[in-house]
Amino acid sequence: MVIETARFGRTGHDSTRVVFGGAALYAASQAEADATFEVLMSFGINHIDVAAGYGDAELRVRPWLRRAPGQFFLATKTAQRARAAAREELERSLERMGVDHVDLWQLHNLVDPIDWDVALSPGGALEAALAARDEGLVRFIGVTGHGLQVAATHRRSLERFDFDSVLLPYNFVTMQDDYYARNFEALAATCAERSIAVQTIKAIAASPWAGRPHTRSSWYKPLEEPADIALAVSWVLSRPGVFLNSVADMGLLPRVLAAASRFFEQGLARPTDEEMRDLVSRAEIEPLFV
């Protein structure tokens, strides 16, 4: 089982092009988390992305980091916007994970204009990140976000500061929105020019739950059929250089990893627009962000 690696921006790290999305561990027991670790190891995943706001996720990866030292490029996030609060959250994250530094610390879901201005102005979270980098507590600094405005907002963020990575939605349906697609492509071009890593989320999102009963742990309705997941995963990974952050549902993780492995092992082509439109119709996919 092979998952291709690629240079993660300017970090010098060759990360698997599927990054483990730690939101899947939000409410997991340690036994469930350890079973997930075995799945990750079987596919050679070497990059973990968690967040201070992901419930118990930071606690759950702590034993993994002891068990496989040096195996993972480790990323976490802060949703705090002020310098002091962000620094406090970083110290808590380090303690929870049992590490003395993280490879990547990200400003989490930085989209709201007021939050954006606070975080990137004097006294904001970015100052905390810069100080932590100077002290060796973080190696690189990133920014993440959701929604149809995030690609444009990330472009503004990169005008304010030279972040090492960005994270944002990327799937066939979201890219049918002209405004989002234009800004995503412009953002991707800037990132390529400046060696900024591009992480993508929501590869297998199908629709909002919209009050429908469910047992899945993700906040959106995901694709579940292996063939559907394979199309969605292939569509993302066929774009050179981008990284796919895995699903926020432990039960679907093996299907996502198997689809990615098959894509690389078999050298599959990018699904056609016709195939993707058929998937949208068959799986009743709806825009996640409006």
CATH code assigned at 226: 3.20.20.100
Is the residue at 150 inside a domain?
yes
For 281, phi and psi rounded to 5 degrees? -70, -45
Find the domain containing 104 and state its range: 5-282
- Residue 86 vs residues 49, 101, 108, 123: alpha-carbon distances, Å: 18, 15, 11, 10
Query: According to the model, what pLDDT value does residue 136 have?
Result: 98
Token duo for residue 282: 């068959």
Query: According to the model, what pLDDT value does residue 282 have?
Result: 95
Are the beta carbons of 263 and 233 closer than 8 angstroms? Answer: yes
> Angle at CA 138, nearest 5°, toward 248 and 150?
50
Local confidence pLDDT in tens for the 290 residues of the chain: 789 999 999 999 999 999 999 999 999 999 999 999 999 999 999 999 999 999 999 999 999 999 999 999 999 999 999 999 999 999 999 999 999 999 999 999 999 999 999 999 999 999 999 999 999 999 999 999 999 999 999 999 999 999 999 999 999 999 999 999 999 999 999 999 999 999 999 999 998 866 666 556 677 789 999 999 999 999 999 999 999 999 989 999 999 999 999 999 999 899 999 999 999 999 999 998 88
Is the residue at 98 inside a domain?
yes
Query: According to the model, what pLDDT value does residue 2 have?
Result: 82
Is the residue at 24 inside a domain?
yes
Is the residue at 223 inside a domain?
yes
| Alpha-carbon gap, residue 147 to 96, rounded angstroms | 29
- Say which amino acid occupies 268: L
Is the residue at 68 inside a domain?
yes
Is the residue at 289 inside a domain?
no
Can you give the pTM of this predicted structure? 0.96
Token duo for residue 6: 């690629």
User: First CA to last CA across the chain, in angstroms?
Assistant: 37
Is the residue at 288 inside a domain?
no
> Helix 226-237 crosses helix 253-266 at what angle (to 10 degrees)?
60
Is the residue at 9 inside a domain?
yes
| Alpha-carbon gap, residue 225 to 249, rounded angstroms | 14
Token duo for residue 112: 């709201």
Nearest Cα neighbor of 129 from 153, 152, 160, 151 is 160
Please list, in sequence order, all residues whose beta carbon lies within 8 angstroms of the beta carbon of residue 107, skipping any fewer than 6 positions away: 77, 78, 119, 125, 126, 129, 141, 142, 143, 144
Query: According to the model, what pLDDT value does residue 210 have?
Result: 67
Structural domains counted in the chain:
1
